Structure 1
Amino acid sequence: MKQINSYIDSVFNNQDDLLEEVISSIKENGMPSISVSPSSGKLLTMLISISGAKNVLEIGALGGYSGICLARGFGKEGKLTSLELEERYAKLAQSNLSKTGFGDQVSYITGAALQSLEKLVNDNKRFDFFFIDADKDNYENYLHYCIKLAESGSLIISDNVLAGGSVADQSAKPKQYTELMKKFNETVANHPQLESLLIPIGDGLTISKVKK
């Protein structure tokens, strides 16, 4: 899987100095190097551009790498709301988004994401694109809330669903969340309100369309 991803990244992604700076800032701040892969980021940009989404909700900001990829998809007309547990992560993400010209189009809500999602539901907020990339224990809960907050036809993208390949390859070293991802993938695949497919790029992205 690593060889395939390396090949895809090398052929389909040009050097992106802005995103490289984000990666460097994450390392410099002692944050985990768990941003999406270059090709996963490009796919996020393309999916937003193709779908025409303008109101995006991100669960898990880290240093803003995925946020930039999301914002590039909607350009000057969209808005990104990003939920992040750690205040210092959100501040770095905000700084990085500002450097790329999207500072005024993104808002960060810090604290436990489930509480933030409950408030968004109570405030009758709606979004047309979702990106889930946070603690794996709550992926099913996050999915539940995303469906509640979704406009008809919205896309929900979930990252790390291959768990380093361990969901399918018994010889791969299992992750702490391997079984969680197996269960999550089954839930998404069989959910009556979703039409979904797992794309084996990066660490696996599940693309789900909320049925009208």
Structure 2
Amino acid sequence: MEETWSIVDAYFSSKLHGADPDLDYVLKANSEAGLPSIDVSPSQGKFLYLLTKLKGAKHILEIGTLGGYSSIWMARALPEDGRLITLEYSQKHADVARENIRKAGMDHKIEVLVGPALESLPTLKEKGFSFFDFIFIDADKPNNPNYLKWALMLSKPGTVIIGDNVVRDGEVVDGNSQDSSVLGSRALMDLLANEPRIEATAMQTVGSKGYDGFVFGIVKE
């Protein structure tokens, strides 16, 4: 089935995305630098772009940069005075991302902060970022509940919060799993189920990245 999912993904990309040398360069540069192949797919990147545009976002927070592929997708939807702050643990990944972002002409909109996200997040308000209107969580999965708590603190009514890779090949339903990423996804769902400040749902996805999914929420008025 995964082969079919990938073929369908490629078909949709060929029809709906068109040639994109800058983003093709990002994926090539990431591969050559030895970064793990865990970027969002082109279709998922375009989906983030469209959601960002639909929201009319001006301030975006991304937790987990990797090589900047999703950062560039979302930054393209920002107005000229918009800003995307992306947090990356690895200095190597951040260096690759910054070059990719520069090559894509998005360095005036994107700032990469290096270090553990849970250390960077408390510094954002003092840097002048009191709230964000679009937040994408795509970092180490065991910390998903902690990232959501920070996302809520850095939100305002109407802020969109998206968490990626929550299905884990269906293992999210395994209450006996000892996998730290599965446990992180389950803890995230428990937190959302009991969090009165946000309305949320989750969607399963298939495609070139296999079987996974994301959680989508909007902070209440």
Residue 154 of structure 2 aligns with which residue? 149
CA contact (8 A) 2:23 2:104 kept: no
Residue 48 of structure 1 aligns with which residue? 52
Residue 127 of structure 1 aligns with which residue? 132
- Tell me how large the CA RMSD over aligned residues is: 2.3
| TM-score, length basis structure 1 | 0.89
Q: Relative to structure 1, is the Cα distance of residues 137 and 20 closer, same or farther in structure 2, using a 3 angstrom cutoff?
A: same
Residue 201 of structure 1 aligns with which residue? 205
> 1:72-91 maps to which residues of 2 (within 5 A)?
72-91=76-95
Question: How many residues are treated as equivalent by the alignment?
Answer: 210
Report which stretch shifted further, 139-148 or 98-107: 98-107
Segments of 4+ moved more than 6 angstroms: none
Structure 1 vs Structure 2: percent identity of aligned residues? 39
Q: Could you tell me which of 67, 79, 82 is aligned with 2:71?
A: 67
SS of residue paired to 1:201? strand
The CA distance in 1 between the partners of 2:178 and 2:26, in whole Å, is 29
Q: Relative to structure 1, is the Cα distance of residues 189 and 45 closer, same or farther in structure 2, using a 3 angstrom cutoff?
A: farther
The CA distance in 2 between the partners of 1:7 and 1:198, in whole Å, is 24
What stretches of structure 2 of length at least 5 have no aligned partner?
207-211
The CA distance in 2 between the partners of 1:148 and 1:130, in whole Å, is 11
Q: Relative to structure 1, is the Cα distance of residues 192 and 4 closer, same or farther in structure 2, using a 3 angstrom cutoff?
A: farther
- Superposed CA deviations along residues 13-63 of structure 1, whole A, max 9, x for unmatched, are 235332222111111111111111222211110110000001001111000
Q: Could you tell me which of 164, 181, 185 is aligned with 1:181?
A: 185
Question: C-alpha displacement at 1:204, in angstroms?
Answer: 0.9
Question: C-alpha displacement at 1:183, in angstroms?
Answer: 2.5
Higher relative contact order (CA 8 A, sep 6+): 2
